[in-house]
Amino acid sequence: MVGAVLVVANQTLAGGEVAEFVRSRMGEDAPEFTLLVPATARAHREEASVLFPGIMPKQQALEDTEGNDYDYAQVRLEYGLSTLRRIDARVDGVVGKPDPFKAISEVLERRHFDEVVLFTLPKRVSRWLHLDLPRHVERKFHTPVTVITTR
């Protein structure tokens, strides 16, 4: 299964599900992965961290960047990339626009992916699911979208 998979995650990066998913796809014909971290607005991050304490990696590094959403996303991206590289995944990454649909669109307009995998918080708090992001991405780009909801 050689190909390319776009993995979209942000607040869910520290939960371990992203690494579990990537590990499950690794093997002789493992795809190349691109990790996209949208620069989620601080208000959305704070709301999720209250509901799910402990989802934020490197807390001190994140507190140091709290004034800039892109810097915050860059720290999360670096955390995710280092986690995936420790399991020997072929992965690159990018920080995207705060709007997840625009962030995904920009990446999919530049490069072909065989699948998009969205890691979301549970439905009751997931902004991405409330926006019906998976359906919008599938409809516009005709690319399969897999949704993985974190614990």
* pLDDT score, position 42: 61
pLDDT (tens digit, 9 = 90+) per residue, 34-86?
999 999 876 444 444 434 444 444 444 444 444 588 999 999 999 999 999 99
Quick one: 46 exposed, middle or buried, by C-beta within 10 A (0-12, 13-18, 19+)? exposed
Please give the C-alpha separations between residue 63 and each of 27, 42, 79, 93, in angstroms, as whole numbers.
37, 11, 14, 22
Distance CA 133, CA 138 (A): 9
Tell me if 63 sits within 8 A of 37, measured CB to CB.
no
Q: Does domain 17-149 correspond to CATH entry 3.40.50?
A: yes
Domain ranges in the chain are 17-149
Distance CA 86, CA 83 (A): 5
Helices 69-86 & 42-51 angle (0-180, nearest 10): 50
Contacts of 107 (CB under 8 A, 6+ apart): 6, 34, 36, 94, 96, 113
- The dihedral through the CA atoms of 42, 83, 36, 10 has a sign that is negative
pLDDT digits (tens, 9 = 90+) for 137-151: 999 999 999 999 987
* DSSP SS3 for 151: coil
